[in-house]
Amino acid sequence: MIHTEGVADVTEETFDAEVLGSGLPVLVQFTADWCPPCRQLAPVLREIAREEADRIKVVRLDVDHHPDLTVRFGVLATPTLMVFRAGEPVKSMVGARPKRRLLQELEDVLTA
């Protein structure tokens, strides 16, 4: 697993508490070690996790190690970025993107 400082790894055991039970919106990256765009996105997510820590939590889930969650949320490609608020998925994006574009796409989540 690519280590991304400030971005916690979640598992099937910790997902409900870390993501669904979070007081903040949570951006989950569904990722895999073999996925080049996932690696490309890692520094972007690390920066967002650090800069927006008071408004959004950023975590990572390895699709190869946690296929049940991948299926549960209908993830068909990596990287998939899914935002959860109050235990519900509210936004889903597929593919790597630059930081500025990702922040624009998260604007409604960050300001709500």
87 labelled catalytic: no
Question: What 3-state class would DSSP assign to 9?
Answer: strand
Determine which one of 19, 27, 28, 35 is catalytic.
Answer: 35
Task: Determine how β-strand 57-62 pairs with β-strand 80-85.
Answer: unpaired
Task: Determine how β-strand 88-94 pairs with β-strand 57-62.
Answer: unpaired
Determine which one of 27, 38, 75, 106 is catalytic.
Answer: 38
The answer to whether the beta carbons of residues 49 and 6 sit under 8 Å apart is: yes
35 labelled catalytic: yes
Which residues are known catalytic residues? 35, 38
